[in-house]
C-alpha cells in the first residue's frame, strides 16, 4: 500500500480539525512541541502546517491531501480538488471601513477617491482575492480599466496602479483604519470585533469553510487513490455523524405501526422482537433537528428510549460509486 501525505492546519482551524480526526480514526497522537501527528493508519503521514501554505503544497504534490479553508484555495489559485466540505471553520471575507464614512460600499469609495485623485489604501492578508474583487468593481473599471492594483509587501511591489493599493497585513487588520489604510478586507465570524473597532461591513467577498483538498495527480494514482478514499470515507462519516442521533426504543405491538409512521429514519429502521411477547425493539438513526419534534409522540407510545450520538455514519455504497466513477 502506497503512503499518503496529509497536511492539516495549525492555528484557528487546529482544534476543530483534531476533533474531526478523533471522530474519524480510533487513535490520534500528537507529540508535544512537534508538528507531527500520528493516526492508527501507518500509511497516512500527517504534518501540521499553516492553512495558508497547504493549498500550494498539495497542488505541487508535496502532500497528497490537506485540510484548509476554501478561502485559501481561492487566494492561492491552487490547482487542487476540493473533495469534501468538512463544515467547520465557517468565516466570511468582508470589506469594512470606518463607520463614520458615508460610502455605501467599496465601489462608491473607489469612485470618490478617483474623482478627488486620492490614493486608496486597503489592508488585507488576501492579496490575490482583494485584487480580483477591486478589478470587478464598476468604478474601478471606469477609472482604471484593466490595470492591476499595486500590491505592497515588505519584499515586493506588484501591479501598476499606484492610485489603488493593497497592503499586506500580518494580523490585527481591524486596527489599521483610518490612520494607516482607508479600508480592510478581512475575515469575520460574527462582525463583533469589527464593530468594536468602529468599522462597518459594506461588502461580502466570499464565505468559506474547511475543506479536504486533494492533489489531482495523486487522485489518478491507483494505489494512492484507494487510500485517499479511505480518508474521505472516514471523514465524511464523521461529518455526517455530527448531524444525526442513533436511537433505540421499545414499543408494544399495538403501537408499532403508529410509531413507524411517525419516526423519520436514515433508512428503514431495524425491528427486533423482544423476549416479552407483544413487544419490539426499534433501532434507527434520525436527524438531530428532528429529535425535539418526536419526543412528545414517543412519550405516548414507546418506552425505554436510549440515545447515542454516532461517531460516524459511513455511506459505503455512495463512496464505492464515487470510486467507480
User: How far apart, in whole angstroms, are the C-alpha atoms of residue 202 and residue 148?
Assistant: 22
Neighbouring CB atoms inside 10 A of 295's CB total: 10
Torsion of CA 76, 79, 84, 90, to 10 degrees: 10
Mean pLDDT of all residues in 289-299: 87
Judge if 4-87+209-241 and 92-208 fold alike in CATH terms. yes
201 Cβ partners below 8 Å, 6+ apart?
94, 95, 96, 188, 191, 194
Count of CA atoms in the C-beta half-sphere (13 A) of 55: 19
Q: Of 177, 109, 168, 166, whose CA–CA distance to 143 is shortest?
A: 109
User: How far apart, in whole angstroms, are the C-alpha atoms of residue 255 and residue 282?
Assistant: 12
User: How far apart, in whole angstroms, are the C-alpha atoms of residue 22 and residue 20?
Assistant: 5
Instruction: State pLDDT tens for residues 113-172.
Output: 999 999 999 999 999 999 999 999 999 999 999 999 999 999 999 999 999 999 999 989
- Are 163 and 144 in contact, with CB atoms under 8 Å apart? yes
3-state secondary structure of 189: coil
Q: Of 165, 164, 182, whose CA–CA distance to 173 is shortest?
A: 182
Alpha helices by DSSP H, the chain: 14-24, 54-59, 70-76, 106-115, 127-135, 138-144, 192-196, 216-220, 222-241, 253-262, 288-301, 316-324
Domain 244-308: which CATH number of 3.10.400.10, 1.20.1250.20, 3.30.70.120, 3.40.1170.20: 3.30.70.120
H-helix or E-strand spanning residue 269: none
Average pLDDT for the chain: 92
Instruction: State pLDDT tens for residues 230-269.
Output: 999 999 999 999 999 999 999 999 998 888 887 766 567 8
Q: What is the total residue count of the chain?
A: 325
Q: Of 239, 244, 312, 286, whose CA–CA distance to 87 is shortest?
A: 239
- Above 70 in pLDDT, residue 302? yes
User: Helices (H), strands (E): how many in the chain?
Assistant: 12, 18
3-state secondary structure of 81: strand
24-28, 29-33, 127-131: which range is least confident on average? 29-33
State the pLDDT at residue 300. Answer: 85
3-state secondary structure of 222: helix
- Above 80 in pLDDT, residue 316? no
- Above 70 in pLDDT, residue 324? no
| Domain boundaries of the chain, sorted by first residue | 4-87+209-241, 92-208, 244-308
Domain 4-87+209-241: which CATH number of 3.40.190.10, 2.70.98.10, 3.30.930.10, 3.40.30.10: 3.40.190.10
State the pLDDT at residue 318. Answer: 52
Q: How far is CA 274 from the centre of its chain?
A: 44
State the pLDDT at residue 321. Answer: 47
- Are 240 and 23 in contact, with CB atoms under 8 Å apart? no
41-45, 148-152, 240-244, 298-302: which range is least confident on average? 298-302
Instruction: State pLDDT tens for residues 49-98.
Output: 999 999 999 999 999 999 999 999 999 999 999 999 999 999 999 999 99
For residue 301, name the pLDDT band (cuts at 50, 70, 90): confident
State the pLDDT at residue 70. Answer: 95
Which CATH architecture best describes the domain 92-208?
3-Layer(aba) Sandwich (3.40)
Q: How far apart are the first and last CA of the chain?
A: 22
Amino acid at each position: 500500500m502506497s503512503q499518503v501525505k496529509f497536511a492539516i492546519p495549525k492555528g484557528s482551524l487546529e482544534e476543530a480539525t483534531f476533533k474531526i480526526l478523533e471522530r474519524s480514526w480510533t487513535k490520534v497522537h500528537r507529540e508535544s512541541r512537534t508538528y507531527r501527528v500520528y493516526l492508527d493508519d501507518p500509511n497516512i503521514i500527517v504534518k501540521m502546517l499553516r492553512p495558508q501554505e497547504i493549498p500550494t503544497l498539495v497542488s505541487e504534490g508535496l502532500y497528497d491531501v490537506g485540510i484548509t479553508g476554501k478561502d485559501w484555495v481561492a487566494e492561492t489559485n491552487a490547482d487542487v480538488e476540493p473533495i469534501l466540505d468538512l463544515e467547520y471553520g465557517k468565516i466570511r471575507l468582508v470589506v469594512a471601513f470606518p463607520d463614520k464614512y458615508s460610502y455605501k460600499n467599496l465601489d462608491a469609495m473607489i469612485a470618490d477617491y478617483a474623482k478627488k485623485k486620492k490614493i486608496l489604501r486597503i489592508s488585507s492578508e488576501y492579496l490575490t482575492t482583494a485584487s480580483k474583487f477591486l478589478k470587478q468593481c464598476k468604478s474601478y473599471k471606469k477609472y482604471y480599466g484593466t490595470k492591476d492594483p499595486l500590491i505592497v509587501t515588505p519584499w515586493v511591489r506588484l501591479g501598476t496602479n499606484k492610485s489603488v493599493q493593497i497592503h499586506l497585513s500580518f494580523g490585527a487588520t481591524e486596527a489599521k483604519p483610518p490612520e494607516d489604510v482607508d479600508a480592510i478586507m478581512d475575515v469575520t465570524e460574527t462582525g463583533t470585533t469589527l464593530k468594536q473597532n468602529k468599522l462597518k461591513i459594506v461588502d461580502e467577498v466570499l464565505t468559506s469553510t474547511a475543506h479536504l483538498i486533494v492533489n489531482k495527480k495523486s487522485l489518478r494514482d491507483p494505489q494512492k487513490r484507494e487510500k485517499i478514499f479511505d480518508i474521505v470515507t472516514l471523514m465524511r462519516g464523521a461529518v455526517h455523524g455530527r448531524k444525526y442521533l442513533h436511537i433505540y426504543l421499545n414499543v408494544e405491538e399495538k403501537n408499532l405501526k403508529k410509531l413507524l409512521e411517525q419516526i423519520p429514519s436514515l433508512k428503514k429502521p431495524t425491528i427486533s422482537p423482544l423476549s416479552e411477547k407483544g413487544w419490539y425493539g426499534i433501532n434507527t438513526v434520525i436527524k438531530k433537528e428532528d429529535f425535539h419534534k418526536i419526543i412528545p409522540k414517543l412519550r405516548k407510545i414507546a418506552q425505554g428510549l436510549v440515545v447515542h450520538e454516532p461517531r460516524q455514519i459511513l455511506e459505503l455504497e455512495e463512496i464505492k460509486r464515487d470510486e467507480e466513477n
